[in-house]
Amino acid sequence: MSVETAITESDTVRKILTATGDTWAVVGLSSNQARAAFGVAAVLQRFGKRVVPVHPKAETVHGEQGYASLADIPFPVDVVDVFVNSELAGAVADEAVAVGAKAVWFQLGVVDEAAYARTREAGLDMVMDRCPAIEIPRLG
């Protein structure tokens, strides 16, 4: 990664975490406390984000009603945080574009370059292979 790319990505991380909006759909979030999504969602809540669980089970997690898909959420979502395997992440990014999200965040280990390009071309901010629970405390 070039220095310029790193600076641009750092700016995008800051923008998503501070200026994009506070409603985060967390795709893959369930009540399973052993999963990374559960802990990351708790950190996002501590930093003032509304966390909306998106999981086929549509469970209530951290006090928020869950939904089976992004399309089922009956209100606008600012950021879609993706905790699914890279093979499934592109479809989630496309759904995020379709529902009018402002940004997509692929978690650590979630990489899909084609989805990244499509999402950016659609006008959304996007971060890939990063974790907001690591990044948000760094903002100061």
Q: What is the pLDDT of residues 22-62, one digit of tens each?
A: 999 999 999 999 999 999 999 999 999 999 999 999 999 99
> How sure is the predictor about 8, in pLDDT bands with cuts at 50, 70 and 90?
confident
| CB burial string 28-65: b at 16+ within 10 A, e below | bbbeeeeebbbebbebbeeeebbbbbbbeeeeebbebe
Contact at 8 Å (CB) between 124 and 100? Answer: no
| Residue 99 to residue 77: CA distance in whole angstroms | 8
Which tokens sit at 88?
């499934």
Specify the number of domains making up the chain: 1
User: Residues 23, 24, 26, CA angle at the centre, nearest 5°?
Assistant: 150
For position 20, which CATH number holds?
Answer: 3.40.50.720
Counting every residue written for the chain, the total comes to 140
Give the structural domain span for 117. Answer: 3-139
- The DSSP H or E segment spanning 138 is none
pLDDT tens profile 83-139: 999 999 999 999 999 999 999 999 999 999 999 999 999 999 999 999 999 999 888
Tokens describing residue 60: 């209530």
